[in-house]
């Protein structure tokens, strides 16, 4: 599995990780076997959140990583509705208890909400100084929100922005991705298969993925994942509910695409126009 420095941290992290949204809906044993198979294959970045199953996903992750905590780059998220200074600290304590661990490798604000960022960031800094989190980041932040983080926290504190990014949704390439690259912030692509909207085999884009996959003895999903991590700032966290899917996804960590193949995928799934800026209110 290829690893890269995760933003400004000194930590190398697997380019392909594992998501956990809705894992509580699957068969518990099968899901845990899937997460463990992913770990065996180096997909050691595990992403969860207090929101997922209201703590149920974190509990399953806790069971899956029992005895293997040191292998894992463990990420969880605080809900914006809990992200006051005290609320963030309490939410983190709950997540640690669910996950049966004493620290997170990275703790994220799930999306921006109504509590002032100063409060959430002060809580993150306190948690980090206590060793309960090793780093912190955000999720679903646009460029103006990222600028606000920079003005509150200074440079080098924010380590990642976890954002929607898949073949049919490339809007981050217009602003968020360049901003993160300029400031050395890791970009974690969530819903890399469009949640449940992967290009169908018979579609024109699906055929392109299949042809490239055939040339490498790989699968279309592996090709898609590799495209999404084609820049050094990028990571991704596909969710799988069983060992077969987890193994297929982790296999993308070994695949390498040529420049011509990347260009072909780029053409088959164009990033689309820059979103028009919102009218002044
Ligand atoms: N920060 C945020 O706001 C946010 C939002 C959304 C997601 N996320 C994170 O990103 C993770 C991934 O996103 P996602 O869960 O929305 O969707 P996703 O990873 O794009 O897609 C998951 C779907 O793909 C299927 N799948 C996975 N691997 C497969 C394979 N090898 N072959 C066939 N099907 C496969 C899964 O089926 P099975 O379950 O049957 O394996 C599931 O139906 C989440 O789990 C979560 O951790 C974060």
When the pLDDT of each residue in the chain is averaged and rounded to a whole number, the result is 96
Cα(15) to centroid(ligand 1), Å: 15
Is the Cα dihedral 19, 23, 26, 32 positive or negative? positive
pLDDT score at 276: 64
**Closest listed residue to residue 181, CA positions, set 160, 198, 204:** 160
Burial zone of 3 (CB within 10 Å; 0-12 exposed, 13-18 middle, 19+ buried): middle
- With 80 as the cut, is the pLDDT of residue 169 above it? yes
Pocket of ligand 1 (CB under 6 A): 19-21, 47, 110, 139-140, 162, 190-196, 221, 237-242, 245, 248-249
- With 70 as the cut, is the pLDDT of residue 166 above it? yes
Q: Provide the percentage of residues in the chain whose pLDDT is more than 70.
A: 98
Closest Cα to atom 47 of ligand 1: 19
**Which of 16, 18, 21, 47 best tests ligand 1's pocket when mutated (most atoms within 8 Å of CB)?**
21
Can you give the pTM of this predicted structure?
0.96
For the CA atoms of 241, 224, 268, 177, the dihedral, rounded to the nearest 10 degrees, stands at: 110
Report yes or no: 45 and 71 within 8 Å, Cβ to Cβ. no
The pLDDT tens digits of the residues spanning 69-97 come to 999 999 999 999 999 999 999 999 999 99
- With 90 as the cut, is the pLDDT of residue 67 above it? yes
Kindly name the residue from 52, 107, 165, 190 that is annotated as catalytic. 52
Cα(221) to centroid(ligand 1), Å: 12
pLDDT score at 281: 38
Cα(193) to centroid(ligand 1), Å: 6
Which residues, listed in sequence order, are joined to residue 236 by a DSSP beta bridge?
16, 189
The pLDDT tens digits of the residues spanning 183-222 come to 999 999 999 999 989 999 999 999 999 999 999 999 999 9
pLDDT score at 147: 97
- With 70 as the cut, is the pLDDT of residue 279 above it? no
52 in catalytic set: yes
């Amino acid at each position: 599995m290829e690893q890269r420095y995760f933003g400004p941290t000194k930590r190398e992290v697997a380019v392909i990780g594992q998501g956990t949204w809705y894992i509580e809906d699957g068969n518990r044993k099968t899901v845990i076997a899937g997460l463990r198979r992913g770990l065996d294959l180096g997909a050691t970045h595990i992403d969860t959140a207090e929101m997922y199953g209201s703590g149920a996903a974190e509990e399953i992750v806790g069971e899956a990583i029992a005895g293997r905590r040191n292998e894992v780059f463990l990420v969880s998220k605080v809900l914006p509705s809990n992200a006051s200074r005290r609320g963030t600290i309490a939410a983190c304590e709950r997540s640690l208890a669910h996950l049966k661990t004493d620290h997170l490798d990275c703790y994220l604000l799930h999306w921006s909400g109504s509590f002032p960022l100063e409060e959430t960031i002060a809580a993150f800094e306190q948690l980090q100084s206590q060793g309960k989190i090793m780093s912190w980041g955000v999720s679903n932040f646009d460029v103006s929100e990222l600028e606000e983080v920079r003005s509150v926290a200074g440079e080098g504190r924010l380590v990642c922005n976890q954002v929607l990014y898949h073949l049919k949704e490339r809007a981050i390439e217009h602003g968020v991705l360049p901003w993160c690259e300029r400031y050395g912030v890791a970009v974690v692509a969530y819903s890399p298969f469009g949640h449940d909207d992967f290009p169908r085999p018979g579609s024109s884009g699906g055929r392109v993925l299949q042809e490239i996959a055939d040339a490498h003895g790989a699968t279309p999903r592996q090709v898609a994942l590799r495209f999404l991590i084609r820049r050094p700032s990028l990571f991704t966290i596909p969710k799988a509910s069983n060992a077969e899917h987890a193994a297929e996804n982790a296999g993308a960590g070994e695949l390498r695409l040529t420049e011509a193949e990347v260009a072909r995928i780029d053409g088959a799934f164009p990033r689309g126009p820059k979103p028009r800026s919102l009218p002044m209110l």
